[in-house]
Structure 1
Amino acid sequence: MSGSIQITEGALASLIGLTAHEIPGVVGMAPANLKEGLYRVLGRANASEGVVIGKEGGRFTADLYVVAAYGVSIPTVARNITERVEHVVKNQAGIELAATRVHAVGVQRA
């Protein structure tokens, strides 16, 4: 007996957003649909709004819009987000992302 499991883009975005929230140096996610400079920090319940799921070559991609904590190394935080998100998505959803892009859209004191 074999079957298949379908994971929706919304479920994938939630998994990715919640994972990013756990990374030290991340204050929160920012809505992906707001213009630069006009952002609000999203709480865990709305974390998926800061993630845009796309497709490249038949595989999922993820763009994350994050607000970093003041004083942290943004490149280090972005690398940690990328590594953790790709690991969690592969292990919990069975999906290898084609690309993971982190956009630091703001800096705020934690």
Structure 2
Amino acid sequence: MDGRDNKLIREEGTEIGSIKISDEVVAVIAGLAASEIPGVAGMSGTLAGIAEKLGMKSMAKGVKVEVGERETAIDLYIIVEYGVRIPDVASEVQQAVKKAVENMTGLTVVEVNVHVQGVHFPAEGKEEEIRVK
């Protein structure tokens, strides 16, 4: 990190001005890419859970980003569907997130860490989620 405002992750000058991308944008891109992978039941969040209870849905739920001027590291906290092979799902998440963030922001993704926080499975008429910490 370069010590600038934590919300501003990338600023690039052009001939006619500058382009600024916030860390929230990177987190949203990563969260959406991860949630599209089959076997991912959802994202596991901390503060985002509080926001959802207040009626605000956070697309960056379960995502933590650390960004420098040209590189980023991403941590994803996911819940997987029961019955999937977790290493395969995690690997697909890593690849999809890396590709989406690099293509959309121009940042180099140096690592994507996947933290499996729980298993989701349907149970007799209602859905249940088991978290392991």
- TM-score, normalized by length of structure 2? 0.67
More helix by share: 1
- Paired residues, what number? 102
Q: Distance in 2 between matches of 1:50 and 1:31?
A: 4
With a CA cutoff of 8 Å and minimum separation of 6, indicate the structure with the bigger relative contact order. Answer: 1
Matches within 5 A, 1:78-97: 78-97=90-109
Amino-acid identity (%) = 34
Larger CA Rg, structure 1 vs 2: 2
Query: Cα distance, 1:13 vs. partner?
Result: 0.4
User: Aligned partners of 2:39, 2:45: CA distance in 1, in Å?
Assistant: 18
Say whether residues 1:7 and 2:21 are aligned partners: yes
Structure 1: any 5+ residue segments left out of the alignment?
none
Q: Distance in 2 between matches of 1:72 and 1:24?
A: 9
Secondary structure of the residue that 2:29 maps to in structure 1?
A: helix
Matched, 1:75 2:84: no
Q: Find 2:35's aligned residue among 3, 6, 21.
A: 21
SS at match of 1:46: coil
* Deviation string, structure 1 residues 5-37 (Cα, Å, up to 9, x no partner): 221101110111011110000000001469xxx
User: 1:32–1:51: 8 Å Cα contact kept in structure 2?
Assistant: no
Point out 4+ residue stretches in structure 1 off by more than 3 angstroms.
55-58
TM-score (norm 1): 0.80
Contact 2:30 2:101 in 1 (8 A): yes
